[in-house]
Amino acid sequence: MKYYILFGPPGAGKGTQAGAIAEKFNLKHVSTGELLRAEIAAGTELGQQAKTLIEAGNLVPDSVVEGMIENLFNTLKGVDGFLLDGFPRTLGQAEDLDKMLSARGEKVDAVISLMISDSTIRERLKGRAAIEGRADDANEETISNRIATYHQKTEPLINFYKAAGKYHELNGDGKSIEEVRALVFDLLNQL
């Protein structure tokens, strides 16, 4: 099995690109953000706890997303691998992912990072709020907190995966969805 991580700040286009990548390379696309939004929509206990955190622009606890991920690794069959979108998002999650995979005799194959500037993040999230109506895109304060949380908690993963020789970065600023998709396909074909 292949394990790819689609990495990047909020609004980088992970969710936008993931479907096409997963289809072309026969991977299962797993978005922790989407899984959490489904829990919220279903009104589960987990969803209710996650809602408050997400709408303030904070992360949910590592144990919550790790539980969801492990569950999928255990149940999914018939794919060549996984495309993880929005996970891992903290060093703790990255370390636990390595443990989870090594226990199965597997490893992270590569990290594909879609990089955009903070000003592009703001533009895109505001644009998306108007289209998708996500509560965590609608409010300036929440957006600022998500950007700060990204720099504080998630950005350190770049060095973690660079040290492992697995980090590949593509710059998404000023590029169309199709241009970014072509770059990701090229990269995955070369790996």
**Site for ligand ATP, rule CB under 6 A:** 8, 10-15, 31-33, 36, 53-54, 58-60, 65, 86-87, 89, 93, 136, 146
In the chain, the amino acid numbered 7 is F
Place of tokens 């790996």: 191
Active-site annotation holds for 122: no
Three-class SS of residue 104?
Answer: coil
154: nearest Cα among 87, 84, 55 = 87
Active-site annotation holds for 104: no
Determine how β-strand 2-7 pairs with β-strand 110-115. Answer: parallel
Three-class SS of residue 88?
Answer: coil
CB closer to ligand ATP out of 18 and 188: 18
Could you tell me if 57 and 142 are in contact, meaning their C-beta atoms sit under 8 angstroms apart? yes
Residue span binding Mg ion (CB under 5 A) among the ranges 28-36, 51-59, 98-106, 110-118: 28-36
Residue 32 interacts, among ligand ATP, Mg ion, none and using kind-specific CB cut-offs from 5 to 8 Å, with: ligand ATP
Candidate residues 8, 11, 33, 57; the one interacting with Mg ion per rule CB under 5 A: 33
Interface residues with Mg ion (CB under 5 A)? 15, 33
